[in-house]
Amino acid sequence: MNMQQYLKDHLSLYIFVSVLFIMGIIFGALMVNALSLEQKQDMSNYLDSFFKTMDEETDLSSRQLLQETFGLHLKWMLLIWVLGLSVIGLPFILILDFLKGVLIGFTTGYIVGELSWDGILFTLVSIAPQNLIIIPVIIIASVSGVSFSIYLIKNRLLQKRGNISKPFMTFSFLILSLIGVLFVISMYETYLTPVIMKWITPMLLSV
């Protein structure tokens, strides 16, 4: 199956998952307005503490940071893979996409709401770049997982027995390839993002 045919067959899934992701981002951003004054104060103190830590920290363990960053991405991708291998995993993949969108929307919405234009600058240089790759990777993995799960439903529940070894290998190879992409992104988050954040942090400490 060539790429054009693949996109044609899965276009509706890509649109659905993308819209679901965007809805999650919007919902996460709106959640910021639902925070109580006390919660906003606690988060403001945490954010201020975070910026001061970034500004003062000079002996970060890059290896440990890489392990933690890549480990988080790896767990997310493996979870999508495992859920895609089961018939009942389909809705949970979609829930994960929505929750990921909520997390991104809430984080971005809070920082921008708290720091205004400085927050927009911080988001653009330290959060947006990697997420421009991470979000499409998650969407591609999710569509692949949903597609394989639907294939299993057709073959197991609708009595259309077919060979699942080739779709399984295709799905697994795709997930493995995307994990490789996320490893490169993890390298960026480990070695470049902290440098950018340290550069911009002094501008935010007075906020």
Is the pLDDT confidence value at 124 over 80? yes
Q: Which amino acid is at 75?
A: K
pLDDT for residue 187: 93
C-alpha to C-alpha distance for 40 and 88, rounded to whole angstroms: 38
pLDDT for residue 116: 80
Q: How many CB atoms lie within 10 A of CB 62?
A: 11
With CA atoms as reference, report the closest residue to 97 among 33, 47, 164, 142.
142
List the structure tokens of 194: 């902290």
pLDDT for residue 178: 96
pLDDT digits (tens, 9 = 90+) for 127-176: 889 999 999 999 999 999 999 998 888 876 666 666 778 889 999 999 99
- Average pLDDT along the chain: 84
C-alpha to C-alpha distance for 207 and 203, rounded to whole angstroms: 8
Cβ(129)–Cβ(188) under 8 Å?
Answer: yes
3-class SS letters over 102-144: HHHHHHHHHHHHHHCHHHHHHHHHHCHHHHHHHHHHHHHHHHH
Longest CA–CA separation in the chain, Å = 65
C-alpha to C-alpha distance for 108 and 95, rounded to whole angstroms: 20
pLDDT for residue 95: 95
Is the pLDDT confidence value at 18 over 70? yes
Domain count, the chain: 1
pLDDT digits (tens, 9 = 90+) for 23-46: 999 999 999 888 777 877 777 777
Of the two residues 23 and 192, the one the predictor is more confident about is 23
Cβ(97)–Cβ(202) under 8 Å?
Answer: no
Is the pLDDT confidence value at 206 over 60? no
What is the extent of the structural domain holding 96?
3-204
pLDDT for residue 160: 62
Q: What is the pTM of this model?
A: 0.86
With CA atoms as reference, report the closest residue to 69 among 199, 192, 201, 196.
192
